[in-house]
Structure 1
Amino acid sequence: MPQRRAVTGRSQEPRRRFAEEVRALRAAKGVSLRQLGERLGWDWSLFGKMEKGETLGGPEVVQALDQYYGTGGALLALWELAAGDHTQFRERYRRYMALEAEAVSLWHFAVSVLPGLLQTPWYAREVLAAGGLKDAELEQQVDARMSRRELLEGPDAPPFRTILSEAVLQTPLRDAGEWRGQVEHLAEVAKRPNVSVHVLLQSAGLHGLMGIDVWYVQLSDASTVVYTEGGYEGQLIEEPAPVLRLQRAYDALRDLALSPAESRKFILRMLEETSCDPST
């Protein structure tokens, strides 16, 4: 990252300061807007607008820039100041995303929605739209979510295990064709050697992770952190005792779920028997 410039009267306004920083970082990297767009998977014009101060972009876009430039969260912090809304990207979530990028292993439980790492663009768009996003911001966030799927690709991708509540697969998209495409994508990803998908049937009954989505991240020092989401709130947990309790709850839940092989058969059978329309 280039040497930090002193905040002056010319650059102290947060939005302007943010635009200056993204402009300076790209210049220091020696890449064009088009090259930046190609490497990060966004339309290059978005970065041009960010550098002109016409838009701030979404948090996932800025996180991708932060990782690409190696700014260690500084760009995200500057974005948060410029956005002026600390509820949009809380410190704990920003820290979780940084830790996720360093993960040597990931595991997860979904109570109602597929994890972003397994979503198709259409599924992501419908989920984000249901949360209130629209127009350009919606499309930016869909693109950002799609870029995060790269975490599971390539020879150095960490192992990823997810347990999906049956309710996740019983909640279709409004477009039956796109829903089928999503489930087909899930079945295809489940074949990857680093990905394990379990289905937790409703008949499994009550369990220790009711009502929350949970992400577990194992780091290179063998420590584990947990991020839980429920409703509109998220919590990053790093203290050993509660992390251990949540790990035990996850282990117990995995014992109740179908195996990866049985789960893939369940998904394929759902495609065959219902034409991917769980309401029929």
Structure 2
Amino acid sequence: MPPRRVITGRSQEPRKRFAEELRLLRTERGESLRRLGETLGWDWSLFGKMENGETVGGPEVVQALDQHYGTAGLLLALWELAVADPAQFREKYRHYMSLEAKAVSLWHYAVCWLPGLLQTEAYARTLMETGILKGDELTRQVEARLRRQELLTGANPLGFRTVLSETVLRTKLTNLAQWQEQLEHLLTMGDRRNVTIQVVPHSVGLYALSSTDVMFLRLADGRVVAWVETGISGSQINATADVDYLQHRYDRVRDLALSPADSRKFIMRTLEEAQCEPSI
């Protein structure tokens, strides 16, 4: 197939194209960022960050821009492409993100930290700060992680099950208020019909997958692939025999886990314990 011809000269990368269109629409009207902010009721600096590609904003502000410019949903369509663009993620995770965007259901086991799909902003930022990310890049990656959660909360949410080692709930944030917020967020997400959260208590003893953080992704063609994560990188498992082996071990772990109802009670007790801790 011959390469796609570029007619407009504008970027073919969704995130950059979205920023370019925002800047072009505003400058063609001769509006300043400050004037745009005053008109729409948002801080003008948000629009500057959107035009610079630092953030893509949320659907509410994009819908307001569509109405303001009379673009009939064009900006919202570009925003959806920008949100799903794997290029926004760090290079070593882009392949996984492209798989996740195509999945029709997900199920997961967590060794020691919560899956990104269930993290609050404070939890994600604290976790990423333990690595090499800093400044604007840290902020961009936190925002990208939070936008992924629309897979669970959007108009057509994916089915998602996660089985959490008790270690996940015992490894708290040092900021007590932020940790309470994270536990409350888990309870809120667990109330969604498409989300199932289970906990494997330490009392069950040794069990399979105790050192393997794994996500299973069912794709539209019916295939199931597994993604195994370490603290350094992740790897995709495609071979049917290997995926079946991991799935069998996952099923055994799920059988050992508390029921969703009892897992909710476990999380609530953890929250109550956190609320009783003295603030430092």
The answer to whether the superposition gives a TM-score over 0.5 is yes
- Output the aligned Cα RMSD: 3.7
Instruction: For residue 97 of structure 1, report the CA deviation from its aligned partner.
Output: 1.2
- In structure 1, distance between residues paired with 2:170 and 2:224: 31
For the Cα contact (< 8 Å) 2:180–2:274, is it kept in 1?
no
Counterpart amino acid of residue 194 in structure 1: N
For the Cα contact (< 8 Å) 1:161–1:197, is it kept in 2?
yes
TM-score by length of 2: 0.73
Match of residue 48 from structure 1: 51
Q: Secondary structure at the match of 1:182?
A: helix
Q: Secondary structure at the match of 1:199?
A: strand
Match of residue 218 from structure 1: 218
Q: Secondary structure at the match of 1:216?
A: strand
Q: Secondary structure at the match of 1:208?
A: coil
Q: Secondary structure at the match of 2:149?
A: helix
Q: Deviations over 1:123-182 (max 9, x none)?
A: 111001111212111111111111111110134111100001101100111110110111
Match of residue 104 from structure 1: 104
Counterpart amino acid of residue 48 in structure 1: E
2:80 maps to which of 68, 80, 86: 68
Q: Secondary structure at the match of 2:266?
A: helix
Pick closer, same or farther for the CA change 1:72–1:205 going to 2, 3 Å.
same
Moved more, 244-253 or 200-209: 200-209
- In percent, how many aligned pairs have the same letter? 42
* Larger Rg belongs to: 2
Q: Secondary structure at the match of 1:225?
A: strand
Pick closer, same or farther for the CA change 1:27–1:270 going to 2, 3 Å.
closer
Question: Is it true that 1:181 corresponds to 2:181 in the alignment?
Answer: yes
Counterpart amino acid of residue 176 in structure 1: L
Instruction: For residue 276 of structure 1, report the CA deviation from its aligned partner.
Output: 6.8
Match of residue 135 from structure 1: 135
Q: Unaligned stretches of 5+ in structure 1? A: 12-16, 36-41, 58-64, 81-87
Instruction: For residue 237 of structure 1, report the CA deviation from its aligned partner.
Output: 1.0
Match of residue 162 from structure 2: 162
Pick closer, same or farther for the CA change 1:130–1:255 going to 2, 3 Å.
same
For the Cα contact (< 8 Å) 2:14–2:78, is it kept in 1?
no
Counterpart amino acid of residue 68 in structure 1: E
Residues 139-158 of structure 1 aligned to structure 2 (within 5 Å): 139-158=139-158
Match of residue 22 from structure 1: 16
Match of residue 191 from structure 1: 191
Q: Secondary structure at the match of 1:133?
A: coil
Instruction: For residue 103 of structure 1, report the CA deviation from its aligned partner.
Output: 1.4
Equivalent pairs counted in the alignment come to: 239
Q: Secondary structure at the match of 2:209?
A: coil
- In structure 2, distance between residues paired with 1:249 and 1:20: 39
Question: Is it true that 1:89 corresponds to 2:91 in the alignment?
Answer: yes
For the Cα contact (< 8 Å) 1:183–1:276, is it kept in 2?
no
TM-score by length of 1: 0.73
Counterpart amino acid of residue 80 in structure 2: Y
For the Cα contact (< 8 Å) 2:15–2:81, is it kept in 1?
no
Instruction: For residue 4 of structure 1, report the CA deviation from its aligned partner.
Output: 4.0
For the Cα contact (< 8 Å) 1:198–1:258, is it kept in 2?
yes
Counterpart amino acid of residue 91 in structure 2: F
Match of residue 207 from structure 2: 207
Match of residue 252 from structure 1: 252
Match of residue 115 from structure 1: 115
Q: Secondary structure at the match of 1:231?
A: coil
Counterpart amino acid of residue 228 in structure 1: V
For the Cα contact (< 8 Å) 1:180–1:276, is it kept in 2?
no
Q: Deviations over 1:45-96 (max 9, x none)?
A: 344334xxxx8x8xxxxxxx998348997x83xx89xxxxxxx513xx4232
Match of residue 239 from structure 1: 239
